[in-house]
């Protein structure tokens, strides 16, 4: 018996030590973690591994210490000849390599439509230092006329580098207005995505498109196209959740930022817009469709000479809602229609027929919006008689007509409240 106790004694001692340590940790397992580094408020006791990964993504600290894949090593010339096949080969290798960095050096590479398909083996970075230039031969787009550069189903992706993406859009603009035109750079069903420090210009149609993506950081983007280039939206967000857009300079022929149906938790800050059509939610409800957008915050924007300021646009006959929306800290310079809700939007040649159903617009805040209006009407709420705009709150609004003249507000079928100085205000 004594011998058995002698053998078991170390085991009991070990168990008592474990219990003592466990008890101490349970009292405050993160008591000292981050007190000096400033992360105490960020890291919570219930933090999940995926949330930590997302935090790292936001800070851009995902490790890409693996192999460098240079497109030149796979046959890319960068001499205005077609480099599409070389890029496809380089992508296949990078996508199947642990922690790869796909490098595009400082040359100009001509590309036909190309699809960068995931899922990939691990985190992946695309470092664009040079210029990607679209083929200007329209026959090259016969198989997929809707996309030029498409990242499809890639997770944990960083695209950055300070390079330029040139959509060569002129040939498209002169042949077609809205149909059969490619989107320059599309991210489709991507998760944990960072797009940072890129220039994109003269897209065939939309410059950046985020479709069905989750957890996106888009920042330091410069987007340019002529003011008369048709449908060249700067950043288009559709069916996308949890996206942050920041520090972008956008001047195009259409919306600087457009937010379409299915989008939730969209944040945009430090946006410079103009020329263009402003920052828009919609259009929603076209073709009697059901549309939903919620949780949109535009915080900090400067608009110059745009045809609209901050806009919500919906078609008659649609259904669904646009709700929980904030436009705040927005500076307008010679902007036509600085604040507008249009539930009778009609973008077609023949007049739209009057319909009773509409996308419900509700719980919208306009706060600290100021500057000059290029039109006499600085605020227009053109809401549905069947589904009036509800819970519209205006705080600290000061919009004057050009040359210091007084502007006016046109308000139909809207339930609005003013707090603080609001000029102009609904009668």
Which residues are part of the catalytic machinery? Answer: 277
Q: Identify which of 158, 154, 212, 164 has the alpha carbon closest to the alpha carbon of residue 184.
A: 164
Q: How far from chain centre, in Å, is Cα 228?
A: 23
User: How many angstroms separate the CA atoms of 312 and 255, rounded?
Assistant: 12
What's the rounded Cα separation, in Å, for the pair 222 and 272? 10
Q: Is 9 helix (H, G, I), strand (E, B) or coil?
A: helix
Spatial CA neighbour of 422 closest among 372, 373, 367: 367
Nearest of 322, 309, 324, 412 to residue 358 by alpha carbon: 322
Six-digit token pair at 288? Answer: 């009697």
Spatial separation of the C-alpha atoms in residues 192 and 410, rounded to whole Å: 42
Other beta carbons less than 10 A from residue 83's beta carbon: 27
Beta strands 241-251 and 263-273 are parallel
Return the closest-CA partner of residue 330 out of 394, 254, 412, 413: 394
Phi, psi of 326 (to 5 degrees): -130, 130
């Amino acid at each position: 018996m004594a011998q058995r106790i002698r053998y078991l004694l170390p085991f009991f001692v070990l168990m008592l030590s474990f219990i003592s340590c466990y008890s101490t940790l349970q009292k405050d397992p993160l008591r000292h973690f981050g007190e000096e580094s400033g992360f105490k408020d960020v890291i919570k006791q219930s933090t999940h591994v995926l949330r930590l990964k997302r935090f790292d993504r936001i800070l851009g600290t995902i490790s890409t210490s693996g192999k460098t894949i240079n497109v030149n090593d796979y046959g890319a010339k960068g001499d205005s000849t077609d480099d599409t096949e070389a890029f496809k080969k380089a992508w296949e290798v990078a996508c199947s390599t642990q922690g790869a960095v796909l490098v595009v050096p400082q040359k100009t590479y001509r590309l036909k439509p190309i699809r960068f398909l995931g899922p990939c083996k691990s985190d992946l970075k695309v470092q664009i230092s040079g210029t990607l230039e679209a083929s200007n031969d329209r026959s090259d787009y016969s198989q997929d006329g809707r996309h030029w550069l498409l990242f499809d189903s890639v997770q944990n992706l960083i695209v950055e580098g300070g390079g330029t993406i040139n959509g060569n859009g002129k040939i498209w603009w002169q042949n077609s207005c809205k149909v059969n035109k490619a989107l320059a750079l599309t991210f489709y069903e991507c998760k944990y995505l960072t797009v940072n420090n890129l220039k994109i210009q003269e897209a065939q149609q939309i410059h950046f498109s985020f479709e069905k993506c989750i957890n996106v950081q888009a920042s330091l983007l410069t987007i340019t196209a002529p003011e008369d280039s048709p449908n060249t939206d700067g950043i288009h967000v559709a069916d996308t959740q949890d996206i942050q857009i920041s520090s972008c300079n956008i001047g195009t022929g259409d919306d600087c930022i457009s937010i379409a149906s299915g989008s939730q938790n969209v944040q945009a800050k430090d946006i410079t817009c103009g020329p263009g059509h402003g920052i828009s939610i919609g259009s929603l409800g076209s073709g009697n469709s059901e549309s939903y957008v919620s949780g949109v915050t535009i915080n900090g924007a400067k608009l110059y000479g745009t045809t609209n300021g901050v806009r919500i646009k919906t078609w008659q006959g649609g259904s669904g809602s646009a709700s929980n929306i904030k436009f705040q800290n927005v500076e307008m310079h010679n902007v036509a229609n600085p604040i507008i809700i249009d539930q009778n939007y009609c973008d077609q040649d023949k007049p739209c027929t009057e319909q009773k159903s509409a996308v419900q617009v509700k719980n919208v805040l306009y706060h600290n919006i100021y500057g000059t209006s290029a039109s006499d009407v600085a605020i227009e709420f053109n809401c549905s008689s069947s589904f009036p705009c509800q819970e519209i709150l205006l705080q600290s609004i000061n919009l004057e007509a050009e040359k210091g003249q007084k502007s006016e507000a046109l308000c139909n079928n809207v339930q609005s409240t003013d707090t603080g100085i609001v000029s102009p205000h609904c009668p």
